[in-house]
Structure 1
Amino acid sequence: MNATGSRHSAIQQCLQEEVSIMSSLTDLLKQEQAALVESDIVQLNDFTQSKGQLVVKMTELEKKRNSFLNELGFNADIDGMQAYLQQAGVAQTSAQDWDALLQLTVQAKEDNRTNGLLINRRLSLNQATLHLLQKNNNQAGSMYGPNGQSTVKTTPGKGYIAT
């Protein structure tokens, strides 16, 4: 196999790995969505770590694929990938994998947007609750100040003689 054929194979392999990882990421985003609805903090922490690892892998594979595209004389971007796929001799599976990757990416973007909305909603509810608690606390008179010390003063009243 010549160098060009080797790069074609490498691009195809990158695409297959990217599809697999992006599929895992979309699955993880769906699970994260369920954990957000259920307020499962433990799972959310685990999902955050897993998402980070998957994104790092995706970034590495994209850089690798773009490097191979560049070596073949194509731009290292989406337009370059489209041009590469339109050339004669490129395997049909590469085009199918590319389409699958684009579809999964759109799905992941939408799921991530939805999860962001859920997070913002939860944050707004928490802030409103905190505001309400602080408001009620100030009306009743605060027992403790911001430093954690008692704000209730114990001073002798009039006519009190300290002995």
Structure 2
Amino acid sequence: MFQPTVQNLSIEQCLSDEVTAMSELASLLKKEQAALASNDIEALGITTAGKTELLRTIAGLEKIRSSKLVALGFNGKPEGMQSYFSQHPTETAQSSVLWEKLLSISEQAKEDNRTNGLLINRRLSHNQAALTVLGHGSSTGSLYGPTGQTTISAGSMKGMIPR
């Protein structure tokens, strides 16, 4: 997994590292989507751990880039990047390409993450429906109580002859 090692990165190098990390995140989101579709719990655990690490890396790189922009007199937000590019067009041509690539990959990753959230919500709904059926599907009451013991009540026993 990608890890930035140098805090003293140029804006261009920072953007390059962000593109690499964001590309890895986008790839991991696709793997997560496949794991969700196939109900592969083990793969989901791996992707969750990987996403957490990549998000830390991306946040760190974003912070470095923002600090660099501020040190140069620009806003540390995305609009500051645009100002930086417009004021230094010849020096920032490659950085501008990397920035556009980062924005594109980020947008796709955002969409994939939204899709994965929908898949997770669908799975949760199915699980909740199954629990509801188990808990309330019987006319005699709940199958299991809070202690985990069966709680099926005898209810009305009309027509039964007690022994």
Give the TM-score normalised by structure 1.
0.82
Q: Give 1:76 deviation, angstroms.
A: 0.4
Q: Which residue of 2 aligns with 1:43?
A: 43
**Correspondence list, 1:1-163, <5 A:** 10-88=10-88, 89-137=90-138, 139-141=139-141, 144-149=144-149, 151=151
Q: 1:67 to 1:131 in 2, by over 3 A?
A: same
Q: Distance in 1 between matches of 2:141 and 2:136?
A: 10
Q: Distance in 1 between matches of 2:81 and 2:36?
A: 36
Count how many residue pairs are aligned between Structure 1 and Structure 2.
145
Give the TM-score normalised by structure 2.
0.82
Q: 1:152 to 1:78 in 2, by over 3 A?
A: closer
Query: C-alpha offsets along residues 111-159 of structure 1, whole Å, 9 cap, x if unaligned?
Result: 000000000001001101110111124x235565322346579xxxxxx
Query: C-alpha offsets along residues 91-130 of structure 1, whole Å, 9 cap, x if unaligned?
Result: 3110000000000010000000000000000100110111
Structure showing the higher helix proportion among its residues? 1
Runs of 5+ unmatched residues, structure 1: 1-8, 154-163
Aligned partners of 2:11 and 2:68 also within 8 Å: yes
Coordinate RMSD, CA, aligned: 1.9
Q: 1:48 to 1:150 in 2, by over 3 A?
A: closer
AA aligned to 1:49 is A
Runs of 4+ in 1 over 4 A off after TM superposition: 141-144, 149-153
